[in-house]
Amino acid sequence: MTKTRPTLGEFIIDNQQDFPYSTGELSRLIRSIRLAAKVVNHEVNKAGLVDITGAAGEQNVQGEDQQKLDVFANNTFIQTLTNREIVCGIGSEENDEFITIAGSRKDHKNKYVVLMDPLDGSSNIDVNVSVGTIFSIYRRVTPIGTPVTSEDFLQPGNLQVAAGYIIYGTSTMLVYTTGHGVNGFTLNPALGSWYLSHPDMKFPENGNIYSINEGNYAHFPTGVKKYIKYCQEEEGDRPYTSRYIGSMVSDIHRNMIKGGIYIYPKSTKYNKGKLRLLYECNPMAFIVEQAGGKASDGYQRVMDIMPTELHERSAIFCGSKTMVEKAEEFMKEYGD
Ligand code: P6P
């Protein structure tokens, strides 16, 4: 009789000792993300029926206003996190300013803040390519009982207490870390339960997949151009394979299973990089590092960058440790 895989709920209970000082609030926070992810997954999977459900901005067959999926995802996560009385503030790619959550007693007594990209890569929806939700969780740093301030959000990634992503792909997975390794759960949509399908995920030390939008080659720094040519040379285990989906969660998830590097560098098009530090780079860096990989901006550890703005951008080189270190050698020698 094969041992049945634990559900996400059972896994959280079995690993409660991982958060010795938590009174179960972090577990409840992960559970609320689990719930929101199921709701968003249902809607994302219907996206192909737009001519029945109606495109965003139009009315669907029930006469309801059809929301853009990223707006729907944003509202779903905000509502679920707010209702659970655990979170005192939310920063989202979809909201210019952070959201203060006072709690039902209006006393600002909740102690976690969440930063999220509710639906990353949403432009891929119309072409049926997988997309993802990315989240990052911190303890607030300002006094409990007062409204959150920007200080609670502008924390370096090395202070994250948890981070994860949901990938809405051929199957829907929730992958997260609380600083004790990385575990992946697959949704059984028929049962509405998430099962531990990828226990203790490890980033292969090396790999032969490089993921970068080579269409921007002309705008890249010399170090990146040199690294791309290195990947393409006939030598040893090279040339590598180029794989780029245009969805950060999907590219990094594939590379974590097969080995590889994902790069979104600074360029003359994006002089600070395109991806957002607080709710794309930091959470993905936490997961990559917890799985034994590496994540830098080409020079310094992503999670050591001191943020100054909620929506600031960063370059990111992340994945198999050996590949990232090689790319960093080219950045060090040839720089920007
Ligand atoms: P480009 C999606 O918009 C995203 O934020 C990441 O998910 C993805 O890797 C990247 O941007 C794609 O950007 O410029 O290559 O289309």
Atom of ligand 1 at shortest range from CA of 262 = 9
CA distances from 186 to 47, 55, 287, 289 (A): 20, 28, 17, 21
Mean pLDDT of all residues belonging to the chain: 92
Same-domain status, 44 and 138: yes
Atom of ligand 1 at shortest range from CA of 121 = 2
Same-domain status, 60 and 157: yes
CA distances from 138 to 130, 151, 180 (A): 27, 11, 15
Same-domain status, 59 and 186: yes
Residue 71 lies in a domain: yes
Residue 84 lies in a domain: yes
- CATH code of residue 87: 3.30.540.10
- Return d(Cα 35, Cα 228) in angstroms, integer: 41
177-219 per-position pLDDT tens digit: 999 999 999 999 999 999 999 999 999 999 999 999 999 999 9
Confidence of residue 119 (pLDDT cuts 50, 70, 90): very high
Q: What angle do CA 100, 102, 103 make, to 5 degrees?
A: 130
User: Kind and range of the H or E element at 133?
Assistant: strand 131-139
CA of 46 to the centre of ligand 1 (A): 23
Q: Whose CA is nearest to atom 1 of ligand 1?
A: 246
Residue 204 lies in a domain: no
Number of compact structural domains in the chain: 2
Select from 248, 280, 317 the residue to mutate for testing ligand 1; criterion: most ligand atoms less than 8 Å from CB: 248
Tell me the whole-structure pTM to 2 decimals: 0.94
The candidate with the shortest Cα–Cα distance to 210, out of 188, 232, 195, 236, is 232
Comparing 22 with 306, the larger pLDDT belongs to 306
Same-domain status, 301 and 241: yes
- Region 289-294: what's the mean pLDDT? 98
Q: Whose CA is nearest to atom 16 of ligand 1?
A: 246
Q: Which domain holds residue 305?
A: 209-334
- pLDDT above 90: residue 124: no
Cα-Cα-Cα-Cα torsion 18, 295, 36, 244, nearest 10 degrees, comes to: -140
- pLDDT score at 333: 97
User: Kind and range of the H or E element at 37?
Assistant: helix 25-46
Question: Does the predicted interface ipTM exceed a cut of 0.90?
Answer: yes
Confidence of residue 51 (pLDDT cuts 50, 70, 90): low
213 assigned ligand-binding residue: yes
Same-domain status, 175 and 303: no
- Return d(Cα 40, Cα 45) in angstroms, integer: 9
C-alpha torsion sign, points 228, 229, 230, 236? positive
Contact 82, 115 (CB under 8 A): no
- Return d(Cα 180, Cα 92) in angstroms, integer: 25
Residue 124 lies in a domain: yes
- Region 119-138: what's the mean pLDDT? 90
Contact 286, 160 (CB under 8 A): yes
174 assigned ligand-binding residue: no
Same-domain status, 159 and 308: no
**DSSP conformational letter for 314:** -
In this structure, the strands spanning 209-211 and 241-242 are parallel
CA of 121 to the centre of ligand 1 (A): 6
Contact 91, 153 (CB under 8 A): yes
Domain-ending residue, one of 157, 179, 198: 198
Atom of ligand 1 at shortest range from CA of 117 = 5
Domain-ending residue, one of 143, 176, 198: 198
> H/E/C letters for each residue in 216-259?
HHHHCCHHHHHHHHHHHCCECCECCEECCCCCHHHHHHHHHHHC
- pLDDT above 60: residue 42: yes
Atom of ligand 1 at shortest range from CA of 247 = 7
Helices (H) and strands (E) in the chain, counts: 8, 13
CA of 212 to the centre of ligand 1 (A): 10
244 assigned ligand-binding residue: yes
Select from 247, 262, 284, 317 the residue to mutate for testing ligand 1; criterion: most ligand atoms less than 8 Å from CB: 247
Q: Ligand 1 site: residues with CB under 6 angstroms?
A: 120-121, 213, 246-248, 251, 274-275
Atom of ligand 1 at shortest range from CA of 249 = 7
What is the amino acid identity at position 251? D
Q: Whose CA is nearest to atom 13 of ligand 1?
A: 246
- Region 231-238: what's the mean pLDDT? 97
Contact 285, 295 (CB under 8 A): yes
- Return d(Cα 291, Cα 9) in angstroms, integer: 22
Same-domain status, 184 and 252: no
Contact 293, 321 (CB under 8 A): yes
- CATH code of residue 303: 3.40.190.80
CA of 236 to the centre of ligand 1 (A): 30
Residue 82 structure tokens:
């707010």
- Return d(Cα 81, Cα 87) in angstroms, integer: 6
- Return d(Cα 256, Cα 312) in angstroms, integer: 25
Contact 318, 219 (CB under 8 A): no
Residue 274 lies in a domain: yes
